[in-house]
Structure 1
Amino acid sequence: MNKINLTFAILLLLVCKPLFASKIINLNTGDAQTVMLDTSAATVFMSQPKIVDYKMIDDSKVVIFAKEEGQSTFIVYGDQGQEIHNSLVVVNRDLTLLEQQLAAYFPDEEIMLNNVGQQVVLSGTVATGRVKQKIYNFVGEMMGKKSKDLLVTVSADEQDQELDYMTRQIYSGVINNIKVISSQQINVKLTIAEVSSSFMDEIGIKYSAVAGTAGNHINQLLHFSATDIVNIITAVDDDKVGRILAEPNLSVISGETASFLVGGELPIVTYIDNTANVMFKEYGIKLDVAAQVIDENNIRVTLIPEVSSLDTTNAASNFNLPSLKTRKAKTTVELQNGQSFVLAGLLTSENSESVTKVPLLGDIPILGALFTYTKSKRTTTELIIVATVNLVSPISTESVVLPSMQKVTMLERILRVNLSDNDREQIGEITATMGFK
């Protein structure tokens, strides 16, 4: 049994010997390399002579030279037909010129280029993601690689909408392993308010009177800033004038998207082939936001706000399900760090009618109209969205200061002052020496 196992192991070793002996030789286009052989060569085989060719110098010395990108199997046989050399020659593109061009266009960045098979790998560190994408695009274009668009979308109207300015290029054969020291993050602070139609006139602002060509922001607010409008609504504290619906505060990495929803889901029943299907539609205050840093100070932001509420007056009679009243908008603006803008003009009107009548007399046919009073009322409200964008940086855990409760001493309550910890210790020592605890 042992002899059989030993014989099988020897045969397996002889069969696999060419595989173990094979190795990989990496060359750049135009390079040459000398291969030294242990014994005299009788026959040389090159599987892809258009990619790699060879020249015999003598019986034990062969020079191989790369002609174009690709790979070829290189095998050498001895006088008796035995295999004395087996290797895979991989020809990569010469990256010397590309490295020089990269250093010329990006002198402040330390980027390394490496050939890995048929792929070119970028490595190194850069300050921002915007520089990372620029270097990647530069290498892909200079190498003439095929590219395709990687689209970034946000959901709106139950469909994905593409954001052209956030489209990124993906190049085949180029792997981007560049690391970003600190990703740029954008904070978008929004205030969504609903105000009465008379509110703008009361504070002296009328959006419809703002002159300008199409595309101008509604930031010509006379002497008012975006935060002033929010402060006025908060200070008035009257729901008839205006009320704050939501104040979401979202942070998003440059080039990414974020969403916000405060509300619920409304079941919608549909029938297909006599089978009831239930779908759920979101309602409430919904926001989709996408942001990207264009340069050091400018930020491009896309906002898709939506405010919807249940409308029982137009409910579906078959299922007793309410409909939705919706106000939505989509806008893309470019702001500087710390700037705000206002989006307004989303109007809605509600008509109501109330009937007041004298008991008994109001129910008399024909004559009852003389004892009945009908009042009609029309309410118009406008949706205002105030947005402020800021570039933010993450902080360490040690830098976070949490609010805390601290007991107030009897002396502080009497004098109505706030003492520091050192003052409390000194006063405690003095009162202790006087016999007070």
Structure 2
Amino acid sequence: MSMASSWHKYASPAEASRRRPLILRLDVLIFLAILALVTLGATLMAQSGLISTSFVKTLGKTLCLCLAALAMDLVWGYTGILSLGHFAFFGIGGYAIGMWLMWDRTEAIVQATLARGPLPATDLQLQEAIGSQIFGVVGASDIPWIWTLAGSLPAQLACAVLVPGLIALVFGWLAFRSRVAGVYLSILTQAGTLALSLWLFQNDSGLRGNNGLSGLQNVPGLESVPQSTLSLWFLWASALALGLAYLAAVWLVAGRFGSVLRGIRDDEARVRFLGYEVEHYKLAIFTVTAMVCGIAGALYYPQAGIVNPAEIAPIASIYLAVWVAIGGRGRLYGAVIGAAVVSLASSWFTGGGAPNVNLGIYTIRWTDWWLVLLGLSFVLVTLYAPKGLGGLVDLWTEHRACRRVGDLGPDLGALRAEEEQA
């Protein structure tokens, strides 16, 4: 018997699973099966009228948040970089796609209005009318330079991915080469996010200040398609993006690159001593996860219908870290579970689904107490269940050690009987 076949005979199920083809791994198959069942079930129930269009949109938005949580788990759970600014990349992706949605829809409305005039409108008149329609709410009519490519869908889709990646690349290069780490890096990412959100709140930012971009649920060219159908299309797109991202993340962490990431998380100095360029690995995962968040944001905000600077505020990135912690960081499925559970629970508690509790002298209204409940859940999970909700999955899927039989000891001094009973 060859050494390779002998190793496979004695390998643990977890080790053997990691060496199977990616698509045949049990955890991957289970995740994809659940994702497909949820998507298919929601589609059938929506078409049967059992669930509303708004709930389908909630499910689609939840899948986008799961995608962002997956990216956060890669950068925090696997690499140990607690970024408190990753939701800013999510918002940038939303702004990028929102600019095209607003521009194209406004252009169609303006062209239809000007066409009823006695004379054909010039390009300058068209531009001025579009500028007045979009920026009149902030008392302006000039079109900012950042809207130069707003009329091109491919360009804005590229911006939704490349702009977050470029910002993360520049920020990460400056931070990691200076060996900023730990709580200092977390504060730095939070400060950068705060600066971005404060800039976006200004009316002269070119993105309509506090008003943000609205009406994003109306997709240009699909005005005749009802929202019930559009919501299903976005649900499918969100599910597809999450499934592909999960496959890519599993492939990434299962190989040597993932081992180095975990090594950086556990003992960065040792990994550096072994000769690995730690900064390069950090920069790569920081940039890639920022781009994934941009994709998630580009899918989320057409379902939400509006994006504004409040979405990029530091508290949003803190929520993202809380979701991952509740789900169980360092477990890809844990991040997805945490984001899904908290997002759906938030919709239920704050959307009026949870009944108020009358205590006689005081009535608990969950719309007021939801954040307190979320904070308490985070504290309890941190203290008593550090593995998060994903730890429950670990208990359910825990494998017993392989029972080995035969000549078990490597030499005459081996404790064969004791090893056989182990």
* TM-score for both structures, normalised by structure 2: 0.16
| Larger RCO (CA within 8 A; separation ≥ 6) | 2
Higher share of residues assigned helix:
2
- Bigger radius of gyration: 1
